Amino acid sequence: MEVVIVKDAKAGGELIAGAVADLLARKPDALLGVATGSTPLPIYDALIAKVRGGGVDASRARICQLDEYVGLPAGHPESYRATVLRQVVEPLGLPAEQFMGPDGSAADVQAACEAYEEALAAAGGVDLQILGIGTDGHIGFNEPCSSLASRTRIKTLTEQTRIDNARFFGNDIEQVPHHVITQGIGTILDARHLVLLATGEGKAEAVAQTVEGPVASLVPASALQLHPRATVVVDEAAASKLKLAEYFRHAYDNKPEWQGI
Ligand code: F6R
Q: How confident is residue 8, by pLDDT bands cut at 50, 70 and 90?
A: very high
- pLDDT tens-digit profile of 47-104? 999 999 999 999 999 999 999 999 998 889 999 999 999 999 999 999 999 999 999 9
Q: Quick check: CB of 76 below 6 Å from ligand 1? A: no
Positions annotated as catalytic residues are 67, 136, 138, 143
Structure confidence at residue 75 (pLDDT): 87
- pLDDT tens-digit profile of 98-123? 999 999 999 999 999 999 999 999 99
DSSP-based three-state secondary structure for 54: coil
**Candidates 16, 32, 38, 39: which one to mutate for ligand 1, based on the most atoms within 8 Å of Cβ?**
39
- Measured between its terminal Cα atoms, the distance across the chain in Å is 11
- pLDDT tens-digit profile of 200-242? 999 999 999 999 999 999 999 999 999 999 999 999 999 999 9
**Can you spell out the DSSP letters for 209-232?**
HHHHS--BTTBGGGGGGGSSSEEE
**Candidates 131, 138, 162, 185: which one to mutate for ligand 1, based on the most atoms within 8 Å of Cβ?**
138
Summarize the confidence of residues 133-150 as an average pLDDT: 97
Residue-averaged pLDDT of the chain:
97
DSSP-based three-state secondary structure for 51: helix
The domains found in the chain, sorted by start residue, are 2-259 (3.40.50.1360)
Structure confidence at residue 87 (pLDDT): 98
Distance CA 174, CA 171 (A): 9
- pLDDT tens-digit profile of 160-192? 999 999 999 999 999 999 999 999 999 999 999
Q: Which helix (H) or strand (E) holds 26?
A: helix 9-26
Q: Please say whether the beta carbons of 183 and 152 come within 8 A.
A: yes
Class of residue 49 by CB neighbours under 10 A (exposed 0-12, middle 13-18, buried 19+): middle
